[in-house]
Amino acid sequence: MFDGDNVRHGLCSDLGFSVPDRRENIRRIGEMVKLFLDAGVIALTAFISPFRSDREWVRSLVGRDHFIEIYCRCPVEVCKSRDVKGFYEKAQRGEIPEYTGVSSPYEEPLEPDLALDTHALSLEQCVAQVVGLLRGRKIFTEARGSA
């Protein structure tokens, strides 16, 4: 599992939130994920990727069979209320320019493989839907003897 904040602290620590930096962030993530996929490792990623063109680029890089787009839909007001790191406040004060949802747009997926209304569903419901999708695609199956 690759988390956006963790990758930004290491591999992408030299990048900010400008449009070119966001695009480079997603490019690096795509290249990293491709290496893992080539090694036979399932790679789950959790990133804000605001531009459709960048998501399409990663899809073409790793292959359509390996790219499953899950859109975690949530009103920006709810995102702000959940922001334990204070990024939205910093963006509103101008400390983080071009921040998605504040001063930079987010292009919603047109046809995600799964859309989760995270403001209306519990964590358990979201997880169940993701697991159901992955099982349906035969990414993984129940282990023998498990309930």
> Which residues are part of the catalytic machinery?
49
The answer to whether position 146 is within a domain reads no
β-partners of residue 136 are none
Q: What is the CATH number of the domain that holds 19?
A: 3.40.50.300
- What is the average pLDDT value for the chain, to the nearest integer? 91
- Read off the pLDDT of each residue in 105-117 and give the average, rounded to a whole number: 95
Report which of residues 142 and 42 the model is more confident about: 42
Share of the chain above pLDDT 70, in %: 96
Q: What is the pLDDT of residues 66-98, one digit of tens each?
A: 999 999 999 999 999 999 989 899 999 989 888
The answer to whether position 40 is within a domain reads yes
The answer to whether position 141 is within a domain reads no
Residue 13 to residue 43: CA distance in whole angstroms:
21
Residue 104 per-residue DSSP state = B
3-class secondary-structure state, position 133: helix
Residue 26 to residue 67: CA distance in whole angstroms:
14
Q: Report the number of distinct structural domains present in the chain.
A: 1
DSSP 68-89: --EEEE--HHHHHHH-TT-HHH
Q: pTM of the full predicted structure?
A: 0.85
